[in-house]
Every structure is written in C-alpha cells, then in structure tokens.
Amino acid sequence: MSTARWQTMVILGAQWGDEGKGKVTDYYGSQADYVVRFQGGNNAGHTIVYRGQVLKLHLLPSGVLHKRCITVIGNGVVLDPRVLFEELAQLKKLGVVPRLMISERAHIIFPFHISMDDVSEGAFKKKNLAALSTKRGIWPTYADKMARVGVRVVDLLNRELFRRKFDLLYDVQLRKLRILYNFRGRLRPKEVIFQGYLKKGRRLKPYVADVSLALACAYEQGKRIIFEGAQGTMLDIDHGLYPYTTSSNTTVGGACTGAGVPPQQIERVVGVVKAYVSRVGGGYLPTELTDALGARIREIGQEYGTTTGRARRIGWLDLVQLRFAARVNGFTGLALTKVDTLNGFKAIKVCVAYRYKGKLVRDLPADLMVYEKCQPVYRVFPGWSGGYAHARTRAALPLPLRRYLTFIEREVGVPIDLISTGPGREATIIRR
C-alpha cells in the first residue's frame, strides 16, 4: 500500500495486544485528520516519547500529539473521567491541548466498578479462568452496559435523568458487591459520587459530540480517519480465546459499532503483528517459550506491560492464529514490528499448523480442551543479524529476514505494508 492512497484505515492488534500499535498509529497518524478509539478503556497503554519526555497514555488516542489531528473517543469506549482529566493535565504540562471529541453515548466508569473489578478477581482466579484484569473497572462497566443499567456521557449532562439512572446503578452495584462478592469495604457515599460526577459532566461538556455524525461529515469532506484498536484480536470478547479475553470487540467490527460508521466506509485494515508473540494473563499459548530463550526475547524486547508492568509471556510467531486474525478482520495489509528483537538468533521458528491427536489442524479450535492439547508444528528459518537499522527499503534487509517476511505473506495471504525495525519513527520501511 502506498502511504498516500487511503482515506480511512483501521489499525488493529493481530495477536494478543502489545504488538506495537502505538508506533504504527503514530506513523500513519501524522497523515490523519481524525484518530478514533472505538473500544476498551484506560486498560490500553501507549508509550510515546515527546520532546524527550516519556508520556504514558491509557485512554486518549495516540493522535493527540499531532496538532492537526482531532482525537475521538467513540461510543464503544468505557470512559473514566478522572483518568481523562489526568491525561489532559499531563499533556497541558507539555503545552499540548488536544482537539478532542467524546461520544455522548460512551459509558461511564464509576469508582464502584473499580471495586467490583478488584474484589471479583479472587473469585475468578480460584477457578483459573479469565484474563488477568487491569482492575480499572472496565468489564463491570461493559457488563452494566449490556444489562442496560449503565450511565452514558450524555446522562451526566441531564441532572434529572442522571439521578434516576445513577440511583438504580448504585443500588444494583452495591447489592452485587455485598451479596455476590461478600464485599465489606466502604464505598464513597452515594450522594458524594453523584455530585462529583455531575461536576465531571460539566467539565466533559465542551468535548461531548455526536461522534457518528461528526465522522460521517468528515468522511463526506474527504478527511482522513484512523480507527485505532486497543488490545488484540485474540482478546476479542467474541472471537478471542474466551474467557481469557478483554470485554469488548477488538476486531474490525468493533470499529463500526464502536464509532457508528458503516463497513463500506472502511478502506484499509492494517493488522499489527509482532515477529513473535507475547501475552499477559492466563490461557494456553501453543508456541510459548518458558525457557531461557523466551526470557532472552522478553529482555531484548522489553516485554513488560505499559499499564501494569507485568512480565509478558513469550512465544514464537503462530500462523494458525495469524491466519485466523486475517480472516476475521479482513486485513488489507500487515505491519510487522520488532524484527530487530530477534537479531542474532541462530534459528527462528514459526508455527505453521497444530497437531491434535495425530492430525494436522490449520484453524483455531473453539473448544479450550482441544486447543490446550494442540502442539505447534514448526518451520525453522535461519536467523538474521543486525546492521540494517538504517535500511529504508525491504531490499536492504538481510536475506534470511526477507525470506521470513515472504513466507509470512504467502502463508497468511496478506502483504506486509510496513516493517518496523526499531522503536523510532525512522526505523520504518513502507511498501511503495
């Protein structure tokens, strides 16, 4: 894909998150008029270096630092206003005042959602199910949205409606906490939370908009729009490795429902793929490396969570998983990151299929007990070494690396549009 010819683009994690979406979004973001987040909440994490300062953003889209870019929080996001105000304050210190638009339909995270997240984890852990939570109140807020007792941004702007909705939500949550989870802690008094969030609503008001309508107008005017996914395909609540997932749709359909845009308006779908895999939380990882090799990749790649600091589990690239991601998302191109992390390894393995009870399996099984018995079938490639940090074309990359790239493209059936050979913006090779 040439860099110039696109109007709308969805950028998604093709694996378990932490693929380097931040860098890829930042790269394309410099050409965008809008960057939109459409799912998740402040459980995402981007590390951006701005004027020598390290900036950690969990909620705001990575486009905030591009001056001409309007950053958008779609209806599919769950919003913690306190985190939003903190991130805005961080940016203000750097002299950045983002042009921000927040959907009136996004749901609000309250302190009791965070308490729920906190106390429920023990119950899940005992049964060894569910991904480790970031304890930011994300899933309880989505659960309330689906139970239709949630409070949306627009509700905070209407005292009478907020009162009714809040009373119901607070009572429901309190009972759940006490009865289901045996919560004996103290919640802040109902009235204090109510008044506090009314006030937050007033602070949010200048940013609140009908995002779907605004994006439709922008599209009509030929503006360039990037939809920025958080987490990754395998964490999708429907298509991921349920229940080791997040609580929203991280796949391409999430961009339509989470921002209110029709699928015909989505031109490009870029799958961000790391040259190996990493994940946090539970669940089987067929290509996992629990040995010294895995530890070495973790150290070189600095695979520790941006939000939680947790060490990530590491494994070889899994093409069964990647083909699945390409099918569900309809990737038009891949962005392959962190090839430099694998510099200097004698052999690089790629999982091309699984073996289950003597048979080859090429598609992801939904049954977890079957999945857990799938053994990876590897193809081994000779490794590559460094010395290509300044390569600007694919032809300038070492031959073993080029062969690896071509193999991935052929197996997945999707071209690699972007190759990232280091964290910096300049360490990027684009297919012309």
Q: Which residue has the tokens 């210190």?
A: 93
Name the residue among 287, 424, 405 with its Cα closest to residue 335: 405
Among 340, 348, 388, 412, binds ligand GDP (CB under 6 A): 340
- Return the bridge partners of 225, or none: 8, 34
- Note whether 338 binds ligand GDP by CB under 6 A: yes
Instruction: Decide if residue 313 touches ligand GDP (CB under 6 A).
Output: no
| Residue with Cβ nearer ligand GDP (134 or 421) | 421
Please indicate whether residue 18 is annotated as part of the active site.
yes
In angstroms, rounded to a whole number, what is the distance separating the alpha carbons of residues 223 and 36?
13
Three-state helix/strand/coil letters over 270-283:
EEEEECEEEECCCC
| Euclidean distance between CA atoms 314 and 30, whole angstroms | 31
For ligand GDP, the closer of residues 283 and 422 by Cβ is: 422
Are 3 and 39 in contact, with CB atoms under 8 Å apart?
Answer: no
Fill in the per-residue mask, 366 to 405: x = in contact with ligand GDP (CB under 6 A), - = not in contact: ----------------------------------------
22 is a site residue for ligand GDP (CB under 6 A): yes
d(CA 109, CA 117): 11
The nearest distance, CB 18 to ligand GDP, in angstroms, is 4
Q: Which stretch binds ligand GDP (CB under 6 A): 66-74, 119-127, 379-387, 419-427?
A: 419-427
The single-letter DSSP state of residue 63 is G
Q: Considering the complex, state which of residue 173 and residue 233 has its C-beta at the smaller distance from ligand GDP.
A: 233
How far is the C-alpha of 110 from the C-alpha of 112, rounded, in Å? 5
Options 6, 11, 13, 245; binder of ligand GDP; rule CB under 6 A = 13
* 3-state SS assignment for residue 283: coil
Element (H, E) at 99: strand 99-103
Report 219-248 residues binding ligand GDP (CB under 6 A). Answer: none
Stretch binding ligand GDP (CB under 6 A), from 189-197, 233-241, 374-382, 415-423: 415-423
Rounded Cα gap, residues 240 and 244, in angstroms: 8
Bridge partners, 272 (sequence order): 13, 335
Size of site (CB under 6 A) for ligand GDP: 20
* Residue 251 interacting with ligand GDP (CB under 6 A): no
Q: How far is the CB of 196 from ligand GDP (least distance, A)?
A: 31
- The helix/strand/coil state of 252 is coil
User: Does 250 interact with ligand GDP (rule: CB under 6 A)?
Assistant: no
**Site membership for ligand GDP, residue 281 (CB under 6 A):** no
Q: Which residues are catalytic?
A: 18, 46
Binding site for ligand GDP (CB under 6 A): 13, 17-23, 45-47, 306, 337-338, 340-341, 420-423
